[in-house]
Amino acid sequence: MTPEQLITFATVAEHGNISHAALALHLSQPAVSGQLKLLQEEFGEPLYQRAGRGVRLTAAGEQLLGHAKRLRDTFVQAKALKDALRGLERGTLRIGASTTPASYLLPYLIADFRQRYPQVLVTTINGNTADIVASLGSLDIAPIEGPPGPDLPVGTGVTPWHDDEIVAIVPSQHPLAAVEHGQTLQALGAYPLVLRESGSGVRQLVERAFARSGVAMRVGLEIAGVEGVKEAVRAGMGIGFVSSMSMRHEDTALRRLRVAPEALTRRFSILMPHADTPSRVAARFLELCTAPACEPGQGVGPSNQ
């Protein structure tokens, strides 16, 4: 039994899927499977079982998981200390971001960071907010949309970031498209809605708004991703909800509608695991994200480069 095998085991348990864990560990899937096989042989009984496309821990695996997580966390902290002492001549920055910041803010920030620190390797993963929070153990920094929830790993720092408005979108010929001053949830709820997948920050915000207003939601379609929502709205499947950022370069086929009388807004946050001992690359990236030029209202995009 080796530390590498235990770290791999903890990562597989966290993701519930060997291929996803391999991506997070920057290993091949056969390498991860091989480490799990050796660890299981060392214990002499199954530590996990196949469950559909993923894996499920056995009782023995659950007992081992606590030890494996503590070892992995200690290793990550030791690596962060080493990186902090080495400086920025080399290194790796592992960024996870939920869908909206990953698509509309992160590309410009990474381009700026790479100009400043060209020797640093930047790797990224993206998903909905719940996915990114679940992956914090293998990340250095993570911009997310919406509240991070109560299940953050101990020691995770949370930095408030950009404000973002959620708008309704309809085809340009939709009956509601002619109203420029906004639409109430009552008016929007009279039509089928196209919603993001469960775990999406946008969906959580929209669901809470409808619940507060007492308006029933007619869900016409649930689909993953911002662009999926846009395409479904173009196809006439219903009214969608997206970040206003995602409409910056949209053509005239879709119209955005502000929600009235109170706009739907949420705040992006930046999560930093092991905030007490961040790597220098993660600390510099956080400084870049929170610099005045990137503050809410200033915008991030090609015009700012």
Quick check: 90 pLDDT over 70?
no
Q: Taking residues 160-174, what's their average pLDDT?
A: 92
In sequence order, the 6+-apart residues with CB closer than 8 A to the CB of 205 are: 146, 166, 264, 266
Q: Which of 11-25, 114-128, 288-302 has the lowest mean pLDDT?
A: 288-302
pLDDT for the residue numbered 294: 55
pLDDT for the residue numbered 52: 84
Q: Which of 79-83, 139-143, 257-261, 270-274 has the lowest mean pLDDT?
A: 79-83
- What is the CATH code of the structural domain delimited by 3-75? 1.10.10.10
Quick check: 239 pLDDT over 90?
yes
Q: 53 pLDDT band (50/70/90 cuts)?
A: confident
Quick check: 305 pLDDT over 60?
no
pLDDT for the residue numbered 114: 92
pLDDT for the residue numbered 296: 40
pLDDT for the residue numbered 186: 93
| CATH 1.10.10.10 domain position(s) in the chain | 3-75
pLDDT for the residue numbered 208: 92
Q: Considering the domain 164-264, what is its CATH architecture?
A: 3-Layer(aba) Sandwich (3.40)
- The answer to whether the peptide bond before residue 261 is cis (omega within 30 degrees of 0) is yes
**b/e for 63-99, b at 16 or more Cβ within 10 A?**
ebbeebbebbbeebeeebeebbeeebeebebbbbbbb
Judged by DSSP in three states, 197 sits in: coil
Contact 160, 239 (CB under 8 A): no
Percent of the chain with pLDDT over 70: 92
Q: 171 pLDDT band (50/70/90 cuts)?
A: very high
Judged by DSSP in three states, 141 sits in: strand
Q: 141 pLDDT band (50/70/90 cuts)?
A: very high
The CATH fold assigned to 86-162+267-304 is D-Maltodextrin-Binding Protein; domain 2 (3.40.190)
Q: 150 pLDDT band (50/70/90 cuts)?
A: confident
Residue-averaged pLDDT of the chain: 87
pLDDT digits (tens, 9 = 90+) for 260-286: 888 899 889 999 998 888 888 899 999
**Greatest mean pLDDT among 169-173, 179-183, 198-202:** 169-173
Q: 112 pLDDT band (50/70/90 cuts)?
A: very high
pLDDT digits (tens, 9 = 90+) for 205-216: 999 999 999 999
| CATH 3.40.190.10 domain position(s) in the chain | 86-162+267-304, 164-264
Structure tokens at 237: 């499947």
pLDDT for the residue numbered 149: 78
Contact 2, 12 (CB under 8 A): no
Quick check: 1 pLDDT over 80?
yes
Q: 113 pLDDT band (50/70/90 cuts)?
A: very high
Q: 63 pLDDT band (50/70/90 cuts)?
A: very high
Cα–Cα dist 3/80, whole Å: 17
